[in-house]
């Protein structure tokens, strides 16, 4: 089986970057590294099956584990995106707080 890792990786990264928009740079390194590992692992499993080093049942088992691990990676990327949005909202709130503090004569009551 021939899997074009780079082409698939590019597609996965593009899809993930659309979801994370401006916060993508923070997740990019992790996503690229993990997506590449997942694709290489899938390719490796397929190769082992083709070479008759593992049975079809074993390949199915490994792909089931791989699916769970992939889901875990995607959930982490989703979490990194949520954390980035949260940081942006809190930064905006901090600006409001600073502005109000300044407006009332620099008192740090907020």
Partner 1 sequence: MKREGWTPSAAICLCMLIIGLAVSGCTIRLIADFDQKIDDGVTALQKKTGAFLIKLERTCQKPEGAYSNHVSFYDEAKVELSALQVRADAIALNKLTTEQLEKLRDSFEKMESQHKLGFTPIVVAETRNILNSHFTAILKLEVAKKRNLKD
What residue ranges bind partner 1 (CB under 8 A)? Answer: 30, 34, 37-38, 41, 44-45, 48, 53-54, 57-58, 61-62, 64-66, 68-69, 71-73, 75-76, 78-80, 82-83, 85-87, 89-90, 93, 96-97, 100, 110
Rounded (10°) CA dihedral 69, 21, 79, 15 = -20
Distance CA(27)–CA(5), nearest Å, equals 20
Based on CB atoms, which residue is closest to partner 1, 25 or 79?
79
Least distance in angstroms from the C-beta of 82 to partner 1:
5
Least distance in angstroms from the C-beta of 108 to partner 1:
10
Least distance in angstroms from the C-beta of 37 to partner 1:
6
User: Helix 5-20 and helix 24-50: axis angle, to 10°?
Assistant: 150
Based on CB atoms, which residue is closest to partner 1, 6 or 64?
64
Q: Any alpha helices (H) in the chain, and if so which ranges? A: 5-20, 24-50, 56-103
* DSSP structural state of residue 106: T
């Amino acid at each position: 089986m021939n899997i074009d890792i780079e082409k698939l990786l590019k597609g996965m990264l593009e899809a993930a970057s659309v979801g994370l928009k401006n916060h993508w740079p923070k997740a990019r390194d992790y996503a690229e590294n993990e997506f590449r590992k997942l694709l290489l692992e899938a390719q490796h499993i397929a190769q082992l099956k083709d070479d008759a080093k593992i049975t079809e049942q074993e390949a199915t088992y490994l792909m089931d584990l791989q699916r769970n691990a992939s889901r875990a990676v995607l959930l982490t990327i989703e979490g990194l995106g949520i954390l980035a949005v949260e940081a942006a909202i809190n930064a905006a709130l901090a600006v409001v707080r600073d502005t109000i503090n300044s407006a009332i004569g620099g008192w740090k009551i907020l």
